[in-house]
Each structure stands twice: as structure tokens, then as C-alpha cells.
């Protein structure tokens, strides 16, 4: 998980929480808001866990939302290890940083967001395109969702 920032057309700042599966490169969630608290991070993770199950660990930086009591309690209750990157070392979380770069290049820098709802819609459309249509070189040139489905079929019950 990580955050990326941008602005609406009128200069008001927005933030996006990005949650990426390191194995499949699938974007599990992008939560967009003007401010995102630790409690909102927990709400996003509850939605992800309801669909995908809890991960064993989550790589995060030392931002206030990730060191919050709310996320720490959530991780404890779900038996998830919060793997904190070293301060000033974004390469510790390279996959989400790479994803955020793609999000910035392909969506944030190419769109003009008229409102928070407009930003949410355009960013969600990009996320769906990323997961369902965009081939990924590290995945054998298949989109992340297809790769995840192939992996699930190959591991079986």
C-alpha cells in the first residue's frame, strides 16, 4: 500500500491510497479522497479482505495512516504483518512505487479532474483497464486479472 497525491482543476489536493497485489500486480483498490485516515485505510482493507482474504503481510511506509492505532489493531486481528519500509527508501516497496508511477503517467497526468467524484470515476476506470486489459511484461504479457485467474486455476483446491 502507498499514497499518491494530485489536485483537482481548482488546486484542491486529493490523495489516493493504492493497494497492489505484489504477486499478480493487480490493483486491489484505489481509494480517492481529500484526506484519508487510518480508519479509512482499515475500511478499504476490510473491503479487500472480504473479496480476496487476508494477506500474510502488507508492505507500507511509515506514513501516519500506516502507523495508526486503527491499522495496527486491524492487522493484529487479521494476523497480518505490517512490513514497514526503511525511512527514505521507497525502493523497499518498489512494486507499488512502480504502479504509482504508471497511475501518474497514464491517468493522473492525462486527466483534468473537475470534482472529487470525477477523479474517483476516472481513476476507477483506469484501475479496471489496468487489471483487465493492460498486458504486463513481468506477467508474460497478460493483464493482472487474467494472470491471477490462471494462477488460481494452476494451484487449485
**Three-class SS of residue 93?**
helix
Per residue in 30-85, pLDDT (tens digit) is: 999 998 999 999 999 999 999 999 999 999 999 999 999 999 999 999 999 999 99
Q: Mean pLDDT score of the chain, rounded to an integer?
A: 93
Average pLDDT in the 128-137 region? 91
> Going by C-beta distance under 8 Å and a sequence separation of 6 or more, which residues neighbour residue 67?
84
Contact 116, 8 (CB under 8 A): yes
**154 DSSP 8-state letter:** H
Please determine, for residue 103, whether its predicted confidence score (pLDDT) is greater than 90.
yes
d(CA 117, CA 38): 21
**85 DSSP 8-state letter:** P
d(CA 20, CA 49): 13
Amino acid at each position: 500500500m502507498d499514497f499518491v497525491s494530485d489536485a483537482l482543476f481548482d488546486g484542491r489536493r486529493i490523495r489516493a491510497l493504492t493497494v497492489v497485489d505484489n504477486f499478480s500486480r493487480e490493483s486491489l483498490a484505489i481509494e480517492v479522497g481529500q484526506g484519508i485516515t487510518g480508519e479509512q485505510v482499515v475500511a478499504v482493507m476490510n473491503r479487500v479482505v472480504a473479496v480476496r482474504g487476508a494477506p500474510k503481510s502488507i508492505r507500507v511506509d511509515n506514513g501516519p495512516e500506516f502507523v495508526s492505532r486503527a491499522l495496527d489493531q486491524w492487522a493484529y486481528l487479521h494476523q497480518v504483518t505490517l512490513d514497514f519500509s526503511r525511512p527514505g527508501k521507497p525502493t523497499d516497496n518498489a512494486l507499488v512505487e512502480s504502479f504509482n508511477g504508471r497511475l501518474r503517467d497514464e491517468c493522473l497526468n492525462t486527466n483534468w479532474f473537475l470534482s472529487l467524484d470525477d477523479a474517483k470515476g476516472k481513476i476507477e476506470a483506469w484501475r479496471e483497464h489496468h487489471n483487465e486489459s493492460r498486458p504486463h511484461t513481468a506477467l508474460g504479457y497478460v493483464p493482472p486479472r487474467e494472470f491471477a485467474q490462471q494462477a488460481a486455476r494452476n494451484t487449485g483446491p
